Chains A and B, each alone.
Chain A
Amino acid sequence: KNEVEQSPQNLTAQEGEFITINCSYSVGISALHWLQQHPGGGIVSLFMLSSGKKKHGRLIATINIQEKHSSLHITASHPRDSAVYICAASLSGGGADGLTFGKGTHLIIQP
Chain B
Amino acid sequence: AQSVTQLGSHVSVSEGALVLLRCNYSSSVPPYLFWYVQYPNQGLQLLLKYTSAATLVKGINGFEAEFKKSETSFHLTKPSAHMRDAAEYFCAVSSNTGFQKLVFGTGTRLLVSP
Question: Are A and B genuine complex partners?
Answer: no
B: residues with CB less than 8 A from A are: none
Q: Which residues on A are within 8 Å of B, measured CB to CB? A: none
